[in-house]
Amino acid sequence: YYNENTIIYLDGEFLKAASAQKDLYGQSLHYGYAVFEGLRAYKTAKGEVKIFKAKEHFDRLKRSCELIHIPYPFNNEELIAATYKMLEMNGMEEGYIRPLVFCPPNMTLKAATESNIMICAWEWGAYLGEKLLRVATSSYQRPNPKAFKIESKSAGLYVNSILASQEAKQKGYDEALLLDMNGNVAEGPGANIFFEKDGKIFTPPPGHILPGITRATVIELCHELGIPLEEKFFTIDELKQAESVFYCGTAAEVVGWDSLDGQGFSKPWASSLGKVLQQAYQARVLETEFKREAQLA
């Protein structure tokens, strides 16, 4: 993720990642009490470096902190400008960007009164790969919304994600699918889910998921392309009747599924609505034009 030349941003300064100090008494390290974001920078068709939906991501960082009472004395416009500068200092035109808000030394369980922010970036290909995913239903549920602010992208929440993806990989699958506390389909360890059935696209509503920014983009693209979309709760049995399924997230982008618990889907990915949305998403982040007719021809 970094080498001796990598520059990060820390509390208003740019410094070498290798020489940044690590505090072993922080509340964040001990209790998972920290908040993070994940963004991607793309080199657009015009040759510019653009961070996709930077404002939306930094606004979510702020909201995530507010939800779990971590102070956020930062200015998002300044942070976005600093992120562009950091990319330039590292000679990066594309890559994954990770802001992290963390808390200073404090061993109590009191809400933080101060916080720090660091931003780093590294080159990262499609997080879940380019191949269609073999997904397994997880024995782990997504956390109960009454036990946590699940809409906050909080570090501690990701132990659940690590357990679920480790279990799936141990069973020989590529990725996990987690249900919510009511037994409905929720999301992946780091991605939101959509499925296609009878010319329509479905996705779970907010409530038990991280409301993803890629998810919002896919919904926008459905509206723009005239693809009917419905947010509703659904079960694994209903998902198994889907014609095609995909995950989406900033790191994973749009990635189709091969199968769920070993059972495939009726439509080939190449002719699915998911594939249309995958191409439309690539066009959106690279700022190229996308014409659905041209794709289907």
List the catalytic residues. 153
Residues numbered 11 to 50 that lie near ligand PMP (CB under 6 A) are 38
Does 191 bind ligand PMP (CB under 6 A)? Our answer is: yes
Among 78-86, 112-120, 187-195, 259-267, the segment contacting ligand PMP (CB under 6 A): 187-195
The least CB distance from residue 3 to ligand PMP, in Å, is: 25
Cα radius of gyration (the chain): 20
Does 101 bind ligand PMP (CB under 6 A)? Our answer is: no
Helix axes 54-67, 76-89, angle to 10 degrees: 120
Does 255 bind ligand PMP (CB under 6 A)? Our answer is: no
Give the torsion sign (CA, 207, 208, 213, 216): negative
Buried b (16+ CB within 10 A) or exposed e, 19-49: eeeeeeebbbbeeebbbbbbbbbbeeeeeee
With beta carbons less than 8 A apart as the criterion, state whether 184 and 195 touch.
no
Out of 64, 83, 192, 278, the only residue in the binding site for ligand PMP (CB under 6 A) is 192
Does 143 bind ligand PMP (CB under 6 A)? Our answer is: no
The least CB distance from residue 147 to ligand PMP, in Å, is: 16
The least CB distance from residue 97 to ligand PMP, in Å, is: 11
- Separation in Å, CA 12 to CA 9, 27, 60, 107, 195: 7, 21, 20, 26, 43
Does 190 bind ligand PMP (CB under 6 A)? Our answer is: yes
Residues in contact with ligand PMP by the rule CB under 6 A: 38, 161, 187, 190-192, 210, 212-215, 249-250
